[in-house]
Chain A
Amino acid sequence: MGEVIVVTSGKGGVGKTTTTANLGAGLATHGHRVVLVDADIGLRNLDVVLGLENRIVYDITDVTGGHCRLRQALIKDKRFEGLFLLPAAQTKDKTAVSPDQMKALCRELKEEFDYVIIDCPAGIEQGFRNAIAGADKAIVVTTPEVAAVRDADRIIGLLEAAELRDPRLIINRIRPRMVRHGDMMSIEDIIDILAIDLLGVVPEDEMVVISTNRGEPVVQDERSRSGQAYRNIVRRIKGEQVPMMNLDEGGFVSRFLRRMIGLS
């Protein structure tokens, strides 16, 4: 029996879809069977980021509506063995799926896959409720911006209210130089407010833009720093203890962060 992990953030544009794609690809390279579920119905993106847009025949609403079998809607990734995508519908809206249907779908998917990763839409309305309905665990993505952290805090509160305990945090697009100059929130500042376990920190990296546009997850890029960050996060999800990446030569990883490592 696999586990269902929802990737959520509240705010849009912080990197939920990119994170979902990279975690999926990363877990698949470790030999796991992974399915990525795009729960952003009406604004689907995950297929584009994975470069699978032109293979979509059926989508999630066809499955929940009984128009096709689950297996028919799953798209096999072209590069990563064991990685599948259940795409969102583009022509429908969030009300096309109910939380109960999502629960049933997740139950069915985790029978067959080791990891079911759900890409949650931005916002806290029904799309969010649907996305978290069948989840066992949650990953909250934020960027070092006051608004993104505020929304992450709201989301953590809502996850707790929905009995999704102990979400873990990914801080995305951090720029160590700006943090050092006091122009950007530091990891400590963010953890101080959100007070949840840190799963990883992904540095700002141009390679993410390039790879996202090409439909090739950056996690497979051995040279990119963000790829390394995602590979570390993947190993932490698998339960390995991986030290936090040194983002900068200037002793950026503080003692506080070292203490955070122990929390898997």
Chain B
Amino acid sequence: MVREKGNPQHRWPASADELIDDNTILIQRTLRSGQSVHYDGNIVVIGDVNPGAEVVATGNIIVMGTVRGVVHAGAGGNEKAMVLAFRLEPTQLRIAGHITRPPDEQSQKPEQPEVARIKNGVVTIEIFNGERQG
């Protein structure tokens, strides 16, 4: 999954609120199937997000590991939220009201950290190169 089209479906009312940077939770374990974390703020996972697990944040999501489950950043409607992971292979990736999934055909596995965010109304995944995002 390198680049994918966004789904224009909106599930949350859009809000223009800026992210509050000091509201962040740290999860120091792998999230396994059936486990979920919901947080009003940013979520940092040190570990993997396995298939069947779910991470939902109103802010950004950073995973220091592999994302194979479902991640939802900007769950309150923040379109500036992003998902950053060492390896981004999610079952489904959502940002604000945009719901995306990897293409059905077998795609190449990522080999470096990537970041997903909304660009021109479409969820876009790019190689993370450490620059200031936004």
Contacts of B52 in A (CB 8 A): 150, 153-154
**B48 and A195: CB pair below 8 A?**
yes
Which of B35, B50, B51, B66 is packed against the most chain A CB atoms within 10 Å?
A: B50
The one of A157, A192, A193, A195 in contact with B34, judged by C-beta atoms closer than 8 angstroms, is: A157
DSSP class of A's interface residues: helix, strand, loop or mixed? helix
A156 within 8 A of B: yes
A192 and B68 CA atoms in complex are apart in Å by 11
Which of B31, B33, B34, B68 is packed against the most chain A CB atoms within 10 Å?
A: B33
Contacts of A156 in B (CB 8 A): 32
Contacts of B24 in A (CB 8 A): none
A-B contact count, CB below 8 Å? 29
Contacts of A81 in B (CB 8 A): none
B124 within 8 A of A: no
A204 within 8 A of B: no
B92 within 8 A of A: no
Contacts of B50 in A (CB 8 A): 153, 193
A151 within 8 A of B: yes
Q: How many residues of A contact B (CB 8 A)?
A: 11
A230 and B31 CA atoms in complex are apart in Å by 31
A156 and B30 CA atoms in complex are apart in Å by 11
A190 and B61 CA atoms in complex are apart in Å by 25
**B48 and A157: CB pair below 8 A?**
no
**A193 and B35: CB pair below 8 A?**
no
Q: Mark B29-67, 1 if CB is under 8 A from A, else 0.
A: 111111100000000000010111000000000000010
The one of A154, A160, A192, A195 in contact with B33, judged by C-beta atoms closer than 8 angstroms, is: A154
Contacts of A192 in B (CB 8 A): 66
Q: How far is the CB of A195 from chain B (nearest CB, A)?
A: 6
Contacts of A151 in B (CB 8 A): 33
Q: How far is the CB of B68 from chain A (nearest CB, A)?
A: 7
**A150 and B51: CB pair below 8 A?**
yes
Q: How far is the CB of A110 from chain B (nearest CB, A)?
A: 28
A193 and B53 CA atoms in complex are apart in Å by 12
**B30 and A150: CB pair below 8 A?**
no
Q: Which residues of chain A from 184 to 202 have a CB within 8 Å of any chain B CB?
A: 192-193, 195
Q: Which residues of chain A from 147 to 204 have a CB within 8 Å of any chain B CB?
A: 150-151, 153-154, 156-158, 160, 192-193, 195
Contacts of A150 in B (CB 8 A): 33, 51-52
A178 and B55 CA atoms in complex are apart in Å by 34
Contacts of A158 in B (CB 8 A): 34
Q: How far is the CB of B33 from chain A (nearest CB, A)?
A: 4
Q: How far is the CB of B53 from chain A (nearest CB, A)?
A: 8
The one of B30, B35, B51 in contact with A195, judged by C-beta atoms closer than 8 angstroms, is: B30
Q: How far is the CB of A129 from chain B (nearest CB, A)?
A: 15
A195 and B50 CA atoms in complex are apart in Å by 10
A207 and B56 CA atoms in complex are apart in Å by 47
Known: A193-B50, A193-B51, A195-B48. A154 touches B34 (CB 8 A): yes
Q: How far is the CB of B52 from chain A (nearest CB, A)?
A: 6
Which of A150, A153, A160, A193 is packed against the most chain B CB atoms within 10 Å?
A: A153
**A157 and B35: CB pair below 8 A?**
yes
Q: How far is the CB of A189 from chain B (nearest CB, A)?
A: 11
Q: Whose C-beta in chain A lies nearest to the C-beta of B66?
A: A192
Binding site for B on A (CB under 8 A): 150-151, 153-154, 156-158, 160, 192-193, 195
7 examples of A-B residue contacts, CB within 8 angstroms: A150-B51, A153-B32, A153-B51, A157-B34, A193-B48, A193-B50, A195-B30
